[in-house]
Amino acid sequence: MESQFDGNRKYNSLRQLAITDLCGLFNLQNQGCCRAIARLHPNGAAKDFAELFSVGLEVAPQLYYALAMLNRKPNLGNPDFLREAIRLSKEKMAANEGGPFGAVIVKDGEIVGRGWNRVTSANDPTAHAEIMAIRAACTALETFSLVGCEIYASCEPCPMCLSAIYWARLDALFFAASHEDAADAGFDDALLYEEVSKPWPTRTLESKQLLQSEAQEVLNHWKNKTDKTAY
């Protein structure tokens, strides 16, 4: 378990990186300015922040995490929630729901979503515990953004689930077993980690790009759509 000292040191290090990211995004030299702006704009204000500095909304995810990093306090997690994720992984595995993985999402000290692996029982290769927990939490809270929530997973998320955690804007991730532990049990994600970092022409999955200009037209319509809900 990480000590309070180690947690504070890691937090301060990440906080400095966030300040550096903000300076880079807005070509700001004054780090004090970034701190002041972050205090004025809460975690969910990435869109307003982007508009204030006249930058594209494509940087909104970077903005959100930089702002969240500046505004949050060190968080070492709650072992009780992690034990609930582990309990789910064991119980649902025994019931043949799927693989040995569980996850819970917490908001304000309360569990708002539970998930467990249902790949084989639902015939859905995307039905990983973290994905199911995110879906449950979003349904319960009636939102597509889980800002202000944390996820506890019985095992380190695979690349798909990690991406979903970022897309859901969760504040923090806590996990028990490592991806090396998962590999030892027969769930090896090493290839996936390697593949997502490669340019698409060099991946093992055969891929071809077609009709780019036609798809760009739709994206341009989205960029100019005045009543869109950005996410």
* DSSP symbol at 99: S
Structure tokens at 215: 């798809």
Query: For residues 102-139, b (16+ Cβ closer than 10 Å) or e, as one string?
Result: bbbbbbeeebbbbbbbbbeeeeeeebbbbbbbbbbbbe
Work out the widest C-alpha separation in the chain, in whole angstroms: 57
Question: Is 130 noted as a catalytic residue in this protein?
Answer: yes
Order of all β-strands in the sheet with 149-155: 110-116, 102-107, 149-155, 172-177
Contact (Cβ atoms closer than 8 angstroms) between residue 45 and residue 53: no
Out of 2, 51, 110, 130, the active site residue is 130
Q: How many CA atoms lie within 13 A of 213 on its CB side?
A: 0
Backbone angles phi, psi at 227, to 5 degrees: -110, 25
**Amino acid, res. 139:** T
Residue 206's contacts (CB-CB under 8 Å, 6 or more residues apart) are none
Instruction: Using CB atoms within 10 Å of the CB of residue 74, give its burial: 0 to 12 exposed, 13 to 18 middle, 19+ buried.
Output: middle
Catalytic residues: 130
